[in-house]
Amino acid sequence: MENSKACNLVWFRRDLRVEDNPALLAAANAPGVVLPIFIWCPAEEGEFQPGRHSRWWLKQSLIHLDASLASYGCSLLLQKGNDTLSVLVNIARATGSTQIFCNHLYADPITVARDRRVKQRLLEYGIFVHNFNCDTLHEPWEIYDEQGHAFTTFAGFWNRFLRTRFEPDMPDSSQARIFPYREYLDVISFAGNLPTPCSIEELCLEDESEKSSNELLARTWSPGCKHANDALQAFLVAPLNDYTTSRETTDNSTSHLSPYLHFGELSIRKLYNCIRSKQRDEEQLFCPRRNAHLFLRAIGLREYSRYISFHFPFTQEQSLLKNFPWSNDEIHFKAWKLGKTGYPLVDAAMRELWSTGWLHCKLRVVTSSFLIKFLQLPWTWGIKYFWDTLLDADLESDILGWKYVSGCLTDGHELDRVLDPHEEGCKLDSKGEYVRRWLPELSRLPNQWIHHPYSAPVSRLQAAGVELGTNYPKPIVDMEVAKYRLSQAVKSMREKNAVEQAARTEEGQDETNPRPNSRHNFPAAFCDQLVPSILTTSASHTQFSGSVTRGKHITSNLP
């Protein structure tokens, strides 16, 4: 096939935008026409298949991406299948394509291993895959400590990041020419080779039973790359100026940019450049509140979540807090999910999550801490429920957050640190407005008792129409009892850990944790993800032998 008729496939995943999309830009600047494709293959997602809210967002985002591509003379080819490789091979064969352009994903080793397998098999068919960085400011293999090892604390990672004085370039998408391909593809379709495109409805991202509930989401959220940029500009104009205070309350004045970042509708480089510009303005004006500085740190936490996912794969499958005596009380778990724990702030947050797919970052910490430390339920139950319900469900960020809360990070919460829902409620929702919004049964309680109705006099409860145990639950666990049980559980865990450590020492196995990756020891599943320039900078990079070992408040989802 002549170069003028070459077809460059652009495989969209979590990069659903035209602006600052390296894979799309490279394909558009290569000889030939561009065919943008999106493949929905839920069977390959394992246990972390997108939940209802996330699938609704994805559906709307794909519709908006198709509209954006239409302005360049293209439209998005949607495909659904059980095997991504087969779909890509069929499209490549039908179009005669020998090149596929896509951006990196670091979500989890299953995804990375899938990408590696696809890349290797496509090469056997004579199809070369070009990978680009679209989701992070730095590639995970570009930041190490002085000894060449991966950082295991956010402070160390972020300090090194800042010392790089990173100022990303912003590619001008208007310079790309995406050649109209319809005439060319019509010929292929006429020959009966090109797979039949799926309609957005045929992807089955939204069940009929979900549509009425999802209509409520559309009243609050506007997915799509254009709306992502609108949301960014709106945040820069006003909410950012109060970020240091608004993030400490439950109001809606935070950025709400995390869903746009997760689906790649908003460029992380564009966001970083905008916040850095605001930061320079603050420094010149000697602003004491340093809103941009704090928000920049939130961007850093998101970056760190990708870094940890890369260097410590399979964390989501690893047994955090080994030997901790987890409870398997499904009644308590159901009460937590439904917002019926008897602790108003926790219950209001869980009801908001179910209704809207959204939670303020501080409330994510409160609810996850309650699950782990009050109820002592397995953290894997919590992260899976968050994954099923959050609009911005993001495995890298979620893992980092749950590890932080559970005490599994050296710079996170201590395991025996318990967040008092009453104190947190008074701090985050001092006037009780948030609780009253989501728990109307408590709406008539005065501020004094709104966050701990179980302590209110019976006369106050009766006057407010509250009957504990009837129209609002009593606490499912007493706080002092929860603290005692936690202390005993931690004690038991540490005793068992000590016994195991002693046994390992006797056997000459002193190292209890896998050594973090170094610049010369990447996990094997990631090796083919590295850009060629990285692989050729040192002879040792051609001899990777690192093996994948199974096994985030840092809340790296931006609030």
- pLDDT of 85-114, one tens digit each? 999 999 999 988 999 999 988 766 778 888
Q: Is 295 annotated as a binding residue?
A: yes
Enter the tokens of residue 456. 């209110």
Helices (H) and strands (E) in the chain, counts: 23, 5
pLDDT of residue 129: 96
pLDDT of residue 342: 98
Q: Is 394 annotated as a binding residue?
A: yes
Burial (0-12, 13-18, 19+ Cβ within 10 Å), 83: middle
Quote the CA–CA distance of 457 and 431 in Å, as a whole number. Answer: 20
**Helix axis angle, 361-369 relative to 421-428, nearest 10°?**
170
Quote the CA–CA distance of 33 and 204 in Å, as a whole number. Answer: 29
Q: Which stretches of 96-180 are DSSP H helices? A: 109-124, 154-163
Quote the CA–CA distance of 377 and 327 in Å, as a whole number. Answer: 5
Amino acid at 385: Y
Are residues 25 and 130 in contact, defined by beta-carbon separation less than 8 angstroms?
A: no
Q: Is 254 annotated as a binding residue?
A: yes
Q: Is 253 annotated as a binding residue?
A: no
Are residues 534 and 541 in contact, defined by beta-carbon separation less than 8 angstroms?
A: yes
pLDDT of residue 169: 72
What are the strands, taking DSSP E only, across 104-258?
128-132
Which residues of the chain are modeled with pLDDT < 50? 1-3, 512, 514, 520-556
Domains in the chain, please, with CATH? Answer: 1-134 (3.40.50.620), 136-177+225-311+514-559 (1.25.40.80), 330-480 (1.10.579.10)
Q: Is 20 annotated as a binding residue?
A: no
Q: Is 128 annotated as a binding residue?
A: no
Q: Is 256 annotated as a binding residue?
A: yes
Enter the tokens of residue 400. 């980092």
Q: Residue 68: name the closest of 104, 91, 38 by CA.
A: 38
Are residues 415 and 385 in contact, defined by beta-carbon separation less than 8 angstroms?
A: no
Q: Is 113 annotated as a binding residue?
A: no
SS3 content of the chain, % helix, strand, coil (to 5): 55, 5, 40
**Helix axis angle, 395-405 relative to 361-369, nearest 10°?**
50
pLDDT of residue 509: 64
Q: Is 392 annotated as a binding residue?
A: yes
Q: Is 221 left (phi over 0), alpha (psi -120 to 50) or beta?
A: beta
Enter the tokens of residue 195. 């797979």
pLDDT of residue 530: 42
Q: Is 169 annotated as a binding residue?
A: no
Quote the CA–CA distance of 225 and 17 in Å, as a whole number. Answer: 6
CA 71 to each of CA 65, 180, 531: distance values in angstroms, whole numbers, following the listed order: 10, 10, 31
